[in-house]
Amino acid sequence: MDFEAVEMAARGLALAIMGRALAGRLNADRSDAAGARLPCPCGARARHAGRRPKTFTTALGEMRLQRAWYHCGACGKGFAPRDRALGLDGGSLSPAALRMTGLAAARASFAEGSALLRELAGLGIDPKSVERHAEALGREVADDERRVVEAEPNHARTLYLGVDGTGVPVRKSETEGRKGKRPDGSARTREAKLAVVWSAESLDSQGAPTRDPDSATHNAAIETAACRDADAEPPPFARRVLREARRRGFESAERQAVLGDGAAWIWNLADEHFPRAIQIVDVFHAKEHLFETAKAIHGPGSDLAQAWGRRRRRELDEGRLDDLIAALAAHAPTCEAARRDVGYFSRNRQRMRYPEFRAAGLRIGSGVVEGACKNVVGTRLKRGGMHWSVDGANAIIALRCAVLSNRFDDFWERRADSGNSAASQS
Ligand SMILES: [Zn+2]
């Protein structure tokens, strides 16, 4: 017996039977024809115009529903009250089918997502439709994230807030007029900025603090971080960081650490909003600076560059910032990168007291922030042949942040609540 074939056929049959039963029940219930006239969204009154069929893709397969139809003479549009009541007013996908589509597209490419939905759930949704539905859902998730900031319980003594950026390959039209890193000065990417909050109360086998499993939440978007006007409210990404911190109870944690790449705006934000937080330059970024400068001074790939870089990184690890800055200063007259680094390491030296931080049991090097950038953005958005619109990228990033931060369930609860209340009001 080909049991796999039997299982699949039986599942298909079971879904079809249940789907037909549910559709039959809904179609027999005609209570959605609530009077001869109903208010239209345009403000006029719509007239009952019989029942109309529409086919929806649901978790039970294709379902043909007959719904009371109201037509508005004033705006020429029509609507079915039941669609709104059941959460079917967004298009041709039922809420459960939309949820599956969003989850698939958060995890895999649109084409892979479409194939998974067919294989695992028996849903026929082509890649283009997966993209359209997932991006619409992602925009809803992003909007929900901006509106709802609910405090989540925190039991950790120390909370970490890390901020970083990573490039997302975008369509040409999204980089017009922007300076890039390519030889002709054009840009191929836009920077997605990411905030991650986590705790690290557990210790690894060497006794060093290590990230607690499932403690990291992510929040990211391609948006502005720089402040252009001193009087204006914080720029969009700064507000995103503050929302994420508030959600996690960062301000009320006994000990707080902010990890950044050295960009001034994050320290300004920390000074203003988290005055108790210990500011730490992510050691990964500090070392990256030294790698680049070693190449600039001694030539890429040379033994001299390697040895010079190794010595500087050791000085950094051991907290010998005076020696490090002096070594950089020696090359400052002839090397632009060294000159810039003198400024970078001098400006941030209080944030690079790594031996002191380590002794206090703090995490200084964030595999966590690095990893979050790769996990949230890289593995989904930076794959071969991908060219995003900023809007589409932000929708999928929002979806992915919700899924990876274990907030997707909460979003759906709120979505169902708001849909039901909207339906009961009408
Ligand atoms: Zn109307």
Q: What is the pLDDT of residue 423?
A: 42
Average pLDDT over residues 347-372: 90
Residue count of the chain, please give it: 426
Ligand 1 center from residue 31 Cα (angstroms): 22
Ligand 1 center from residue 135 Cα (angstroms): 27
**pTM for the complete prediction?**
0.91
Ligand 1 center from residue 29 Cα (angstroms): 25
> Among 221-225, 230-234, 406-410, which is the least confidently predicted range?
230-234
Ligand 1 center from residue 85 Cα (angstroms): 19
* Dihedral sign computed on CA atoms, order 418, 419, 422, 423: negative
Q: What is the DSSP letter of 386?
A: -
Q: Is the pLDDT of residue 182 over 90?
A: no
Whether 65 and 29 have beta carbons less than 8 Å apart is answered as no
Q: What is the pLDDT of residue 228?
A: 64
Q: Is the pLDDT of residue 425 over 50?
A: no
Q: Binning pLDDT at 50, 70 and 90, where does residue 204 land?
A: confident
- Which one, of 388, 426, 421, 409, lies nearest residue 102 by Cα? 409
Whether 138 and 394 have beta carbons less than 8 Å apart is answered as yes
Q: Is the pLDDT of residue 273 over 80?
A: yes
Q: What is the pLDDT of residue 187?
A: 80
Ligand 1 center from residue 419 Cα (angstroms): 21
Q: What is the pLDDT of residue 103?
A: 98
The CA distance from 131 to 137, in Å, is: 10
Q: How far is CA 35 from CA 18, 48, 50, 198, 423, in A?
A: 31, 7, 11, 54, 15
> Among 106-115, 118-127, 326-335, 359-368, which is the least confidently predicted range?
359-368
Ligand 1 center from residue 55 Cα (angstroms): 24
**Would you kindly state where each structural domain of the chain is located, as residue ranges?**
1-92, 94-147+390-426, 156-389
pLDDT digits (tens, 9 = 90+) for 391-409: 999 999 999 999 999 999 9
What is the percent of the chain with per-residue pLDDT over 70, rounded to a whole number? 96
Ligand 1 center from residue 78 Cα (angstroms): 7
Q: What is the pLDDT of residue 229?
A: 63
Ligand 1 center from residue 143 Cα (angstroms): 26
Ligand 1 center from residue 133 Cα (angstroms): 26
Ligand 1 center from residue 70 Cα (angstroms): 10
How far the first Cα of the chain sits from its last, in Å, is: 54
Ligand 1 center from residue 47 Cα (angstroms): 10
Q: What is the pLDDT of residue 320?
A: 97
Average pLDDT over residues 61-70: 96
Ligand 1 center from residue 48 Cα (angstroms): 13
Ligand 1 center from residue 49 Cα (angstroms): 14
Ligand 1 center from residue 142 Cα (angstroms): 29
- Which one, of 286, 288, 283, lies nearest residue 363 by Cα? 283
Average pLDDT over residues 43-63: 96
* Dihedral sign computed on CA atoms, order 73, 78, 80, 81: negative
What is the Cα gyration radius of the chain? 27
pLDDT digits (tens, 9 = 90+) for 140-175: 999 999 999 999 988 899 999 999 999 999 998 898
Helix H, strand E, coil C: the string for 243-299 is HHHHHHCHHHCCEEEEEECCCHHHHHHHHHHCCCCEEEECHHHHHHHHHHHHHHHHC
Q: Binning pLDDT at 50, 70 and 90, where does residue 95 land?
A: very high
Ligand 1 center from residue 426 Cα (angstroms): 14
Q: Are strands 278-281 and 255-260 parallel, antiparallel or unpaired?
A: parallel
Q: What is the pLDDT of residue 226?
A: 73
- The vertex-251 CA angle with 249 and 254, nearest 5°, equals 90
Long-range contacts of 98-102 (CB under 8 A, 24+ apart): 98/133, 98/137, 99/412, 100/59, 101/125, 101/130, 101/133, 101/134, 101/137, 102/133, 102/134, 102/137, 102/138, 102/141, 102/399, 102/408
Q: Binning pLDDT at 50, 70 and 90, where does residue 426 land?
A: very low
Ligand 1 center from residue 41 Cα (angstroms): 6
Ligand 1 center from residue 91 Cα (angstroms): 19
* Dihedral sign computed on CA atoms, order 405, 141, 172, 385: positive
Ligand 1 center from residue 73 Cα (angstroms): 7
Ligand 1 center from residue 371 Cα (angstroms): 50
Q: Binning pLDDT at 50, 70 and 90, where does residue 277 land?
A: very high
Helix (H), strand (E) counts: the chain: 16, 11
Average pLDDT over residues 348-369: 90
Ligand 1 center from residue 69 Cα (angstroms): 13
Ligand 1 center from residue 81 Cα (angstroms): 14
The CA distance from 213 to 278, in Å, is: 23
Q: Is the pLDDT of residue 424 over 80?
A: no
Ligand 1 center from residue 77 Cα (angstroms): 6
Ligand 1 center from residue 39 Cα (angstroms): 8
Q: Binning pLDDT at 50, 70 and 90, where does residue 219 land?
A: very high
* DSSP states of 306-332: HHHHHHHHHHHHTT-HHHHHHHHHHHT
> Among 93-102, 245-254, 349-358, 359-368, which is the least confidently predicted range?
359-368
Q: Which helix (H) or strand (E) holds 47?
A: strand 45-58
Residue bearing the bigger pLDDT, 363 or 286? 286
